[in-house]
Amino acid sequence: MTVTKQEFRDAMARLGAAVNIVTTDGPAGLGGLTVSAVCSVSDDPPTLLVCLNRGSPQNRLFKDNGVLCVNTLAPGQEALSGRFAGRSAEADMAERFSHATWGIMETGAPSLDGATVAFDCRIAEVVERGTHSVLLCEVQAVREGAALRGLIWFSRDYHAIGAA
């Protein structure tokens, strides 16, 4: 049996995932986008897997900078997620970043003030698979935020999770 692209996408809509804004900065420039394809790989060394669409103009930027920060969003940050997903008229990256307060972590990648957690990473390996680049990222630093609730993407919509 062959699974069609649409069948797969519809099934994946039923797999809830944390909403993240993944950012980078360095010699190649400032960038950021909304990503739900992030997961833990190992705790020794601490490693995350981040998938970026190969068709995104920012894909090369992340690879060239070699660093990124995974900023996991909290409820109330849906509009920011939409901006970084390209759902607003703002094409300019600096304009997207202007809608929030950002710090800089060890690698130089921007970390979002108000994120539930920020993982500052160096890209250790890149695997190209289908439409996406799979980035294996070694975590250099972690910053936990004050937010105790998380934001997930499920059934093509945002949902708050955790104790109120």
At 62-71, the pLDDT tens digits run: 999 999 999 9
**Residue 9: inside a domain, yes or no?**
no
| Domain region containing 55 | 18-156
Q: Which amino acid is at 66?
A: G
pTM of the entire structure? Answer: 0.93
Cα R_g (the chain), whole angstroms: 15
**Residue 70: inside a domain, yes or no?**
yes
- CA-nearest of 156, 36, 30, 145 to 96 is 30
Whether residue 163 has pLDDT greater than 90 = no
Distances (CA, A) of 38 to 34, 49, 52: 11, 5, 10
How many distinct structural domains can be found in the chain? 1
**Residue 143: inside a domain, yes or no?**
yes
- CA-nearest of 93, 109, 27, 35 to 64 is 27
Query: Are residues 80 and 72 in contact, defined by beta-carbon separation less than 8 angstroms?
Result: no
- The pLDDT score that the predictor gives to residue 90 is 54
Average the pLDDT over 6-24 and give the result.
Answer: 91
Task: Determine the Cα–Cα distance for residues 102 and 96; give it in Å rounded to an integer.
Answer: 12
At 133-152, the pLDDT tens digits run: 999 999 999 999 998 899 99
